Amino acid sequence: MWYEDALASSHPIILYLHGNAGTRSSCVREAARSQRRGSPSTETGLLQGQGRGPVWHHGWGDSMGTPSERGMTYDALHVFDWIKARSGDNPVYIWGHSLGTGVATNLVRRLCERETPPDALILESPFTNIREEAKSHPFSVIYRYFPGFDWFFLDPITSSGIKFANDENVKHISCPLLILHAEDDPVVPFQLGRKLYSIAAPARSFRDFKVQFVPFHSDLGYRHKYIYKSPELPRILREFLGKSEPEHQH
């Protein structure tokens, strides 16, 4: 009943897709901080609807089953449709963080293909594809120069059907796109986020939509999961979501 009432209000809604280490407490903490600072276009809560128990990916937290790319994407699509059926004409934004950016672009690509895109897509600390992310991850640093690294570590990921191909998905997405990335991110290297932007910005699918890349200087210490602490974030979101004309900038 709480969700029904919240979704029926006049506030923007953000479907937040968490990363691999996302927890209920971290989602609620981010929602609470953002609500105190004000939402993208109103004085009510950013991440509205997350405060009473965030959406878990398939196989995470309270969600049943085993994690899979297909299952996570299906879950996100189901939740999006559930929200749209109850939110009237309220704006609905998709926000993915880290691994959740892979789910987010999978979801939004499918929504655009069926001509029901969200009002905007926000990618926080994104990678290009899971293979490049695995190769760049700090856990692989002592192995990546060994002979057979690709065959032993990376090929099994691809052959198992796990792609999370953000770099391919953005070529088929038609809605405003905002990419946020910290320069000192030790988990998803900053250059992968910038590379994703360089792929998306000239894509024909974004011809009529804004694509924006916002870097956060390493001196700020936001690393992989603390961009939400930025006092500039509400302004960035407000300005990005408050304009509709095409714009490609960083």
Catalytic center residues: 98, 185, 224
| Angstrom distance (rounded) from CA 122 to CA 220 | 21
**Amino acid occupying residue 235:** R
Q: With contact defined as beta carbons under 8 Å apart, do 197 and 123 qualify?
A: no
% helix, strand, coil for the chain, step of 5: 45, 10, 45
Q: How many CB atoms lie within 10 A of CB 152?
A: 11
Cβ neighbours for 123, distance < 8 A, ≥ 6 positions apart: 96, 101, 104, 105, 166, 177, 178, 179, 180, 193, 196
Burial (0-12, 13-18, 19+ Cβ within 10 Å), 206: buried
Q: Where would I find the beta strands (DSSP E) of 82-176?
A: 92-97, 120-124
First vs last Cα of the chain: how many Å apart? 41
**Amino acid occupying residue 35:** Q
Q: With contact defined as beta carbons under 8 Å apart, do 124 and 95 qualify?
A: yes
